[in-house]
């Protein structure tokens, strides 16, 4: 086959820096879309949850043609929970476009993705995005990026990076702030001048490494990776080497490449290309595909260990089975096994109970995305409070520590600092940025569980908090848990306005009138630090006597309807989140007061014996 010049690039940045928007500009200005085609914003964020939350969860590929080059573009996640996706993608690309917000500057996640790129020997291109912001400070941000490169031990060659300025939302990239062009041509030209195309190794033996997995209901498991040398042909016999050095003979069925946003079947693909292959049902991350007569495996890819776990259980509430299609432990097991096919950062273990599975992931968001997907697919499941996974080294218990950067209005910074100190955090830096303060902390992951909603309340919704896993340190001791108790229903039925009007004086409600409740269901947050049993279905007694105006005064404070993440943050060890296709409920593990008292006595006895 004729050799084609191929360049593979990844767009890397922290959350909300404009990665997906920049990829939109790449596609639209490369004439990937037809003139009459309706184009949505962030076209690469194709998953429903990605669209709703405005974040990238799964890395995705597309391609554009520019001059005589084919450029494969990978849009990567910016959230720390999906960092394992970023790590593997870095190994398949020739260069990265580092996107940095012109006002925020480098964030913790920027550091992580850049570090992986520099370690892989890539020479990044810096794009200062959102230069049209009122508080843009591009010159200062460039200095901060230089400091970051030096801090990460960049080579002299890597430090000599090109700098571009962009407004990705408008599809504009410029070489200088005072340029007037209105397209992204300078970015294309910089990519071509700054990066060498993949060398021509067509005549060498086949060598391809799998860096990501996908699943198709019709053709099964798919391996995605880059061909490093040789040519891969459909229906060809190859040798697969795993990380333990084991080899097996396999057959590749179909080969797909990306043209624009489409996955296209081809008869063969050359070195340098990112391809998707079918036919190997047990293919795994890091495995190398080689020619049968030249077996030469590439170094294996290390997958980051999970940091959080929670138990997924069969829903046992009185409302179980009312709205879900999949409600048995067999259904849940099959769904988790299917998720393991593609979600390599996930780990599933059996527990002592047949109705419960221990699921471990890279963070709260990582696990909550899985739960949200399951809920939308028709599954019912109950989940326990997230728990941090500890490591043991040389007889010492180590726990995960996160780097936290908070940007908060200065008037609220005292409250944030106080709360993070209570949670065993250690301040690293504080910078005054006019009306805002930038606070940097190292905090145990345990201390951050349940803190996000508190942070939003403490900063009146004006603060931003970005986190990333920094490493493991010795156990930091006890950390205070939730300080408020729960309002627990003692009855089953429909919640009444009259009852909720009386209950709201005792705390914050999570439900509205006419919500179905059951005994043991949590309907709100108590104002005190003790659980309170309440009756939400009690109605006003009907009498013939009515005093004028008495009913009109019954006004309810708007209820706080918890999202899935907020529900997971709220619960304590003795509580569960119940997920069904039509609702998210909170409940006690033991529904009746007698069961709860019995369990408390049992726990106290076990502690005394220990």
SS3 114: helix
pLDDT score of 509 more than 90? yes
Task: Report the distance separating Cα 14 and Cα 201, nearest Å.
Answer: 35
| Cα–Cα dist 10/86, whole Å | 9
Is residue 225 predicted with pLDDT exceeding 90? no
Q: What's the first-to-final CA gap in the chain, in angstroms?
A: 72
Domain with CATH 2.40.30.10 in the chain: 207-290
pLDDT, position 534: 93
* Fold observed for domain 207-290: Elongation Factor Tu (Ef-tu); domain 3 (2.40.30)
pLDDT greater at residue 547 or residue 228: 228
DSSP annotation of 549 reads T
In this prediction, residues 164-178 reach a mean pLDDT of 87
Domain with CATH 3.30.70.240 in the chain: 391-474
CA distance 332 to 564: 18
Q: pLDDT value at position 40?
A: 37
CB 81, CB 362: distance < 8 Å:
yes
H or E element at residue 86: helix 83-90
pTM beyond 0.75, yes or no: yes
Query: Mean pLDDT throughout 258-282?
Result: 85
What percentage of residues in the chain have a pLDDT greater than 70? 89
How far apart CA 166 and CA 161 sit, in angstroms, is: 16
Side-chain-facing half-sphere of 123: CA atoms under 13 Å: 16
In the block, residue with structure tokens 């340190």 = 473
Fold for the domain defined by 391-474: Alpha-Beta Plaits (3.30.70)
Using pLDDT thresholds of 50, 70 and 90, give the confidence band for residue 212: confident
Indicate if the pLDDT at residue 303 is higher than 80. no
Which parts of 464-536 are beta strand (E)? 464-474, 486-489, 493-494, 507-509, 516-517, 521-526, 532-534
Confidence of residue 442 (pLDDT cuts 50, 70, 90): very high
| CA distance to 311, 368, 431, 504, per residue, from 350 (Å) | 10, 20, 47, 41
The predicted pLDDT at position 84 comes to 60
Residues that constitute the known binding site for GTP: 16-21, 129-132
**Vertex 150: Cα angle to 146 and 155 (nearest 5):** 105
Asked if the model's pLDDT at residue 32 lies above 60, the reply is no
DSSP 3-state of 41 = coil
**Ranges in the chain annotated CATH 3.40.50.300:** 5-194
What average pLDDT does range 177-188 have in this prediction?
87
Q: Name the CATH superfamily housing domain 5-194.
A: P-loop containing nucleotide triphosphate hydrolases (3.40.50.300)
The rounded distance, in Å, linking the Cα atoms of 108 and 110 is 5
Q: What per-residue confidence (pLDDT) applies to 319?
A: 92
- At 45 the pLDDT is 36
Annotated binding residues, written as ranges, equal 16-21, 129-132
| Biggest CA-to-CA distance, the chain | 96
pLDDT digits (tens, 9 = 90+) for 74-91: 766 644 545 566 667 787
Supply 300's token pair: 């294996």
Indicate the pLDDT class of residue 30, thresholds 50, 70 and 90: low
Hunting for tokens 């509580």 — which residue is that? 575
Work out the pLDDT band at 50, boundaries 50, 70, 90. Answer: very low
Please tell me the least confidently modeled range out of 70-84, 285-299, 386-400, 564-578: 70-84
pLDDT computed for residue 124 by the predictor: 92
pLDDT of residue 491: 92
In this prediction, residue 72 carries a pLDDT of 86
Neighbours of 263 (CB within 10 A): 14
Local structure of 115: helix, strand or coil: helix
């Amino acid at each position: 086959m004729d050799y084609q010049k191929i360049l593979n690039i990844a767009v890397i940045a922290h959350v909300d820096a404009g990665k997906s928007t920049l990829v939109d500009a790449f596609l639209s200005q490369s004439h990937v879309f037809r003139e009459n085609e309706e184009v949505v914003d962030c076209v690469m964020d194709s998953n429903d949850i990605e669209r709703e939350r405005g974040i990238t969860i799964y890395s995705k590929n597309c391609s554009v043609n520019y001059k005589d080059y084919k450029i494969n573009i990978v849009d990567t996640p910016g959230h720390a929970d999906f960092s394992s996706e970023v790590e593997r993608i870095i190994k398949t690309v020739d260069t990265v476009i580092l996107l940095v917000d012109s006002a925020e500057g480098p964030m913790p996640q920027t550091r992580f993705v850049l570090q992986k790129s520099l370690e892989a020997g890539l020479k990044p291109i810096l794009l200062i995005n959102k230069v049209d912001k009122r508080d843009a400070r591009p010159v200062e941000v460039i200095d901060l990026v230089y400091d970051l490169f030096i801090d990460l031990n960049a080579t002299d060659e890597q430090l000599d990076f090109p700098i571009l300025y962009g407004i990705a939302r408008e599809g504009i990239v410029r070489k200088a702030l005072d340029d007037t062009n209105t397209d992204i041509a300078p970015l294309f030209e910089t990519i071509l001048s700054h990066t060498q195309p993949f060398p021509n190794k067509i005549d060498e033996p086949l060598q391809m490494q799998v860096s990501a997995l996908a699943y198709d209901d019709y053709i099964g498991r798919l391996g995605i990776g880059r061909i490093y040398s040789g040519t891969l042909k459909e229906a060809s016999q190859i040798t697969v080497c795993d990380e333990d050095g084991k080899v097996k003979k396999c057959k590749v069925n179909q080969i797909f490449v990306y043209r624009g946003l489409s996955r296209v079947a081809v008869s063969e693909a050359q070195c340098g290309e990112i391809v998707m292959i079918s036919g190997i049902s047990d293919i795994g991350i890091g495995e190398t595909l080689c020619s049968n007569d030249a077996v030469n495996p590439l170094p294996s890819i290390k997958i980051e260990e999970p940091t959080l776990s929670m138990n997924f259980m069969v829903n046992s509430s009185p409302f179980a089975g009312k709205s879900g299609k999949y409600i048995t432990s067999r259904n849940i097991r099959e769904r988790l096994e299917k998720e393991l096919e593609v979600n390599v950062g996930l780990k599933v273990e059996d527990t002592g109970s047949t109705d419960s599975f221990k699921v471990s992931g890279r963070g709260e968001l990582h696990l909550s995305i899985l739960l949200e997907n399951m809920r939308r697919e028709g599954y019912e499941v109950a989940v326990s409070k997230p728990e941090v996974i500890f490591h043991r080294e040389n007889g010492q218990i180590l726990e995960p520590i996160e780097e936290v950067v908070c940007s908060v209005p200065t008037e609220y910074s005292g409250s944030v600092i106080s709360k993070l100190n209570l949670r065993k955090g250690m301040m690293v830096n504080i910078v005054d940025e006019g009306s805002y303060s930038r606070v940097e902390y190292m905090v145990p992951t345990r201390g951050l569980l349940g803190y996000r909603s508190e942070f939003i309340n403490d900063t009146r919704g004006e603060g931003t908090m970005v986190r990333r896993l920094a490493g493991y340190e010795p156990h930091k001791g006890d950390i205070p848990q939730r300080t408020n108790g729960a309002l627990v229903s003692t009855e089953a039925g429909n919640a009444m306005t009259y009852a909720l009007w009386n209950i709201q004086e005792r705390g914050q409600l999570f439900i509205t009138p006419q919500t179905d409740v059951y005994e043991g269901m949590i309907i709100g947050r108590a104002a005190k630090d003790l659980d309170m049993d309440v009756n939400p279905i009690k109605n006003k007694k009907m009498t013939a006597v009515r005093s004028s105006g008495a009913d009109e005064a019954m006004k309810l404070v708007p209820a706080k309807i918890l999202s899935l993440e907020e529900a997971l943050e709220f619960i304590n060890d003795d509580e569960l989140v119940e997920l069904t296709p039509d609702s998210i409920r909170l409940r006690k593990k033991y529904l009746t007061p007698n069961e709860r008292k019995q369990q408390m006595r049992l726990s106290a006895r076990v502690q005394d014996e220990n």
